[in-house]
Amino acid sequence: MSALARAAYTVAVWLALPIALLRLLLRARREPLYRERIGERFGVHSLPVDRPVIWVHAVSVGEARASVPLARGLLARHPGAMLLATCSTAAGREALEQIWGNEARIAWLPWDAPFAVRRFLAFFRPRLAVLMETEVWFNLIERCKANGIPVALANARMSEKSARGYAMFGALSGPAFAALDAVCAQTEADAGRLRALGARTVEVSGNLKFDLLPDAAQAHRGAQLKRSLGARPVLLWASTREGEEAALLDALGAKAAKPCLLVIVPRHPRRFDEVAGLIARRGLTLARRSAGAAAWAADSQADVLLGDTMGEMAFYYGLADVVVMGGSVLPFGSQNLIEPLAQGVPVVLGPSDYNFSDAARAALGAGAAVRAAHAAGVIEAALSLIADAARRARMGEAGIKLCAAHRGATGRQLETIAALLR
């Protein structure tokens, strides 16, 4: 049954390839990086490999950053190895290039067609495959097992929604989860759902994202700009998703006067211009981070500062007095609230947090975050915090303590995954 299911899946992948290629080219109109090295999507590589390869796959930005301490730990134990870091999104590739530079080989993950996967594995011959969070590709895992390559699922999470989706195709997903050599789950709930899907070697190791320390230089620059603003508090909408800026601006209305500086940082670079247009149409004055330091001068009278740069979240959090967490206002499951908590910034969440449900629950319980049921409630909660410096200070301290208490996942996951190389 599983062989038949995989055959049907492979046929579906073949049929989807032209659509995937067309979609890639369309996305490249706004994000040119998508049109670069398209051959890698089909497993085509040319630069020779002369060292043993440790392969870590992180689909996009958050996973790429979370993978860094784990990857560095593996390289420290095997100094003669080369790191192969793969991703699927343009933002993820930019993040990997910023993080690793020439320290690693960076490539696109091949599409899950058997010929592409075979080429990729035959070229790099990795000694170990580490897939971050929920990157379970059926043909990829099957070919790794056929080639004797151990596969680990690191920082693994499995929401109820995703688990239901995998369970619908149990004949296909069950053998893939069972083939994983190690699964390091973030929480007991994640571990339970992964075991129910067929994973065998599962242990609860915590969340690597608690181990990430903010970039000190960026945070310092943000704090410097914050101090230069004097009494003008800063409300940051961080990593916002489609539709959230409009909903929040509608809710904000005329409530925010000049004394409150609004900073908006969209999650995806392709939306920077779209959000700039949205702000301008509301009659708000705008300064863009990409325009340089002059546009973000201390005496700027702009209503909104648009964070249209990549890799600077520690700067934005260093600038903020209160953070509204993008992805939580509309049903996107929230972006990473751990980052602002680690920098001592109070967080306001909307109703959707399934990507970070345990971290959100812990933050709410510790008093480091508050939740609202809709955009209007989010704005009301944020402005209430803006007006209460003492409460902000208490929440910020609670966030720092919460992150410190949850660190240590890197060491636990490293021990489990490094054992596969032995």
Residue found by looking up tokens 């981070």 in the block: 289
pLDDT of residue 310: 86
d(CA 311, CA 284): 26
Q: Is-contact 370 392, C-beta < 8 A? A: no
**Active-site pick, 31, 36, 40, 63:** 63
pLDDT of residue 293: 60
pLDDT of residue 228: 84
pLDDT of residue 422: 74
Q: Could you give the angle at which helices 2-27 and 170-178 cross, rounded to 10 degrees?
A: 90
Q: Please report which residue ranges of 28-79 form alpha helices under DSSP H.
A: 61-77
* Known active-site residue 242: no
Q: What is the pLDDT of residues 36-84, one digit of tens each?
A: 999 999 999 998 999 999 999 999 999 999 999 999 999 999 999 999 9
Measure Cα distances from 245 to 271, 273, 303, 324 in Å: 11, 13, 14, 11
d(CA 71, CA 410): 10
DSSP 179: T
Lowest mean per-residue pLDDT among 180-194, 220-234, 358-372, 391-405:
220-234
pLDDT of residue 311: 86
What is the pLDDT averaged over residues 348-372?
A: 96
Which residues sit opposite 27 in a β-bridge? none
Q: Is-contact 264 288, C-beta < 8 A? A: no
Q: What residues does each domain of the chain span?
A: 2-207+408-421, 216-405
Mean pLDDT for all residues in the chain: 93
The H or E element that residue 118 is part of is helix 114-124
Lowest mean per-residue pLDDT among 181-195, 249-263, 330-344:
249-263
**CATH fold of 216-405:** Rossmann fold (3.40.50)
pLDDT at 292 over 90: no
Helix (H, G, I), strand (E, B) or coil at 271: helix
| pLDDT top residue among 93 and 293 | 93
Q: Please report which residue ranges of 155-271 form alpha helices under DSSP H.
A: 160-167, 170-178, 188-196, 216-228, 244-252
Closest CA to 153 of 50, 38, 63: 63
Q: Does domain 2-207+408-421 have CATH number 3.10.580.10?
A: no
Residues 6+ apart with CB under 8 A from 208: 66, 67, 69, 70, 154, 155, 409, 410, 413
Q: What is the pLDDT of residues 215-263, one digit of tens each?
A: 999 999 999 988 888 788 999 999 999 999 999 999 998 665 556 899 9
pLDDT of residue 298: 47
Q: What is the pLDDT of residues 112-160, one digit of tens each?
A: 999 999 999 999 999 999 999 999 999 999 999 999 999 999 999 999 9
Same fold, 2-207+408-421 and 216-405: yes
Closest CA to 359 of 369, 374, 373: 369
| Percent of the chain whose pLDDT exceeds 90 | 86
d(CA 284, CA 254): 11
pLDDT at 294 over 70: no
Q: Supply φ then ψ for residue 329, to 5 degrees.
A: -75, -45
**How far is C-alpha 265 from the geometric centre of its chain's CA atoms?**
14
